[in-house]
Structures are given as C-alpha cells and as structure tokens.
Amino acid sequence: MPSPFHSFGASHIVAMALMLAAAAALILASRAARSDPFDRSVRWILAFLLLADWIAYLVMFYRNGWLAVGNVLPLNLCDWATIAVALTLLVPNQRSFELSYFWALAGTLLASITPDLAYDFPDPRFIFYFLYHAIIIASVLYMVFTLGMRPVPGSVGRVVAWTLAYIAVAGAADWWLGTNYGFLRAKPATATLFDAMPPWPWYIVCSFAIGIAAMLLLYAPYFIADRLRRPRLAS
C-alpha cells in the first residue's frame, strides 16, 4: 500500500530542493561552457525529457488501468505550460516564452509547493509528478538566466488573455464530459491552497485574482529596472 503524501514532509522538501539545484546546475554549466552548441543541446534535452516524462506518465496510467477521460486530455494548465515550454526550448521566441514564464512560475511552481498528490515517495506517481514539474521550472529559469529572455510590456495582458482562453476551453470540456480539469468544478481532494479559499464558484475567481497578482509580481522587477534605466538612457 503506497504511503500517503505529506505536504512539506521530508520527501516533498527534498524534491523541491533538487528541483532548484538542478536548475542552478544547468545555468552554471551553461555559463561556464559559453557555447552555442552546448546551449542548444541543453534546450533540446530538456524538451525531450519534458515530453518523454509526459508520455511516460500517460503510459503508466494506461498500464495500471488508471487512465480515464478526466486525466488523459491535455486540459490542465500545466499541460498548456508544457507545450509552451517545449516550443520555447526548441524554437526560442517571445510569445511562447511569456506563457512559459508566467504559467510556470505562477502556476507550476505553486503546484509543486501545494501539490494535488495522494501518494508519497517512492510511488511512481510522486516521482513522475515532481520530475515533470522540475523540468518545467528548470527550463524556464534556464531561459531567463542563460538565454536572457524576459517578459516585456504587454506580456501580462497577453498571458491573462491566454489564461482566460484556457479557462473557457477547460470549462467547456468539464461541462461536456463531467470532468474537473483546472479544478473548475470542484476543489482538489487533497490538501492544497484551494482549501483556504471560499466555496465554488468563488474560489475560481479568487485563484484567478491570485494568479494575476502573481504575474504582476513576477513582472515587477523588469518594470522597475526599465523605469530606472530610462533616465540613464535619456541623459
């Protein structure tokens, strides 16, 4: 019988620490190498690992008879973040980077801190979950600190629009199929940040507002740096 997951237990803390350590190691290695072929290899390996983990997770669910309409479709926000991250790794561009940056650091990172996870290490669901989220976070930090990519004016508005599009698509699927993608029909069964929010449907409004606040906070350092740089450029 798998052990139940404990938030901020030893395995949870170790998993998050390894996530950040892996990102730091990649960034330091790339800066030491200072090589375009090395950077390209890192990006392609990260994209391969991300997609491979996603596929392997579905294969594991299929082989164990856990696959269902409620978990097979790419309708979780992390699924959309996966597509954006993989695209940016393979073909670096501003538009998919914006989605990767805000969805990963405002969503995927939070999902790692308060995961919707029932079983603890060494259950394969624990391993796949944190490996998947670790690759997304490491990839985005690599884009920022190695590739020098950053959000720009207008990024927050575009990502908010895409997030509303996601909610519309996931909400339509939930209504049609009776699923719970995006937790739009019910809160997670496990302990998460949603527990501190009001009942349905107000927790959806609350979580969306928190998401926008997180995006603004993530953009704030760049906004401040741009404002401070402007007088220097004028002089």
Residue-wise DSSP of 19-55: HHHHHHHHHHHHHHH--HHHHHHHHHHHHHHHHHHHH
pLDDT bracket for residue 227 (50, 70, 90): confident
Residue 150 has a pLDDT of 96
Domain that holds residue 74: 10-234
Does 110 map to a domain?
yes
- Round to whole Å and give the CA distance between 18 and 131: 10
Mean pLDDT computed over 115-135: 88
Residue 35 has a pLDDT of 84
pLDDT bracket for residue 233 (50, 70, 90): low
Confidence check: pLDDT of 174 > 90: yes
Closest CA to 140 of 149, 131, 152: 149
pLDDT bracket for residue 124 (50, 70, 90): confident
Residue 6 has a pLDDT of 84
Mean pLDDT computed over 106-120: 84
Does 63 map to a domain?
yes
Does 3 map to a domain?
no
Q: Which pair of structure tokens corresponds to residue 50? A: 């991300």
Closest CA to 104 of 83, 127, 81: 81
pLDDT bracket for residue 235 (50, 70, 90): low
Does 173 map to a domain?
yes
Does 2 map to a domain?
no
Does 4 map to a domain?
no
- Give the lowest-confidence range in 16-25, 62-71, 105-114: 105-114
Residue 189 has a pLDDT of 81
Confidence check: pLDDT of 89 > 60: yes
Mean pLDDT computed over 172-199: 91
What is the chain's length? 235
Does 124 map to a domain?
yes
Residue 33 has a pLDDT of 84
Residue 234 has a pLDDT of 54
User: Taking each helix axis from N to C terminus, what angle separates 94-103 and 202-234, rounded to the nearest 10 degrees?
Assistant: 130
Q: Which pair of structure tokens corresponds to residue 235? A: 């002089």
Average per-residue pLDDT for the chain: 90
Closest CA to 101 of 45, 55, 54, 158: 158
Does 158 map to a domain?
yes
Domain count, the chain: 1
Q: Give the other-Cβ count within 10 Å of 227's Cβ.
A: 9
Residue 231 has a pLDDT of 66
Structural contact between residues 231 and 222, judged by C-beta atoms closer than 8 angstroms: no
Residue 68 CA, chain-centre distance (Å), reads: 22
Confidence check: pLDDT of 31 > 90: no
